[in-house]
Structure 1
């Protein structure tokens, strides 16, 4: 499951990077993840009343939060894929369940 999802994010990211002339070197994966965590934090600040809403409705803010969480998930998987990390094994060690089995 995680490997399949990581492959889908990899294809989408590679396509986007190629279309926009972005070099995805080793540093890019971690820097992009950090950027996306910042955007998730910003979305959370808006939802929780700690940031300007910028005229966005509650529904738009909730959608923004979900979108940014999805970006963080994607970039975690991209980082792991790029660095040949076995997230399933790490989850089993750290969280004591096997994610590949649901």
Structure 2
């Protein structure tokens, strides 16, 4: 599942940067993660009353939070893809997830 998502984000990102003349060098991937984390923080602050609502309704602010979360996930997957990180294996190792056991019953 992660590999498929990463491939979809890669296709979308490649098209976006090509249309806008953006060069994705090694630093770009990490800098975009930082930028998106800032935008997620800003959306959270707005939603929780720690930032100006800027005329946004609570529903709009929840949607903004979801959108910024999606952006952060996308850029994290792009970073992992660019750096040839097997994210699924790293998650299993780091979080001590065990592969699903199948039952013969």
- TM-score bracket for the superposition, by shorter chain length: over 0.9
How many Å separate the matches in 2 of 1:90 and 1:14? 25
Gaps of 5+ in 2: none
The structure with the largest alpha-carbon Rg is 2
| TM-score, normalised by the number of residues in structure 1 | 0.95
Say if 1:2 and 1:100, in contact at 8 Å, map to a contact too.
Answer: no
Deviations 1:47-81 (A, max 9, x none): 11100000100000000000000000000000000
Q: Residue 96 of structure 1: CA displacement? A: 1.8
Q: Distance in 2 between matches of 1:77 and 1:98?
A: 21
RMSD of equivalent CA atoms: 1.6
- For 2:31 and 2:83, locate their aligned partners in 1 and report how far apart those are by CA, in whole Å: 14
TM value normalised by structure 2: 0.92
Unpaired stretches in structure 1, ≥5 consecutive residues: none
Contact 1:32 1:75 in 2 (8 A): yes
Aligned equivalents of 2:12 and 2:67: distance in 1?
15
Q: Deviations over 1:25-59 (max 9, x none)?
A: 00000001100000000000001110000010000
Select the structure that is richer in helix: 1
Matched with 2:7 is 7
Give the whole-Å Cα distance in 1 for the aligned partners of 2:35 and 2:99.
26
Number of residue pairs aligned between Structure 1 and Structure 2: 101
Runs of 4+ with >3 A deviation: 98-101
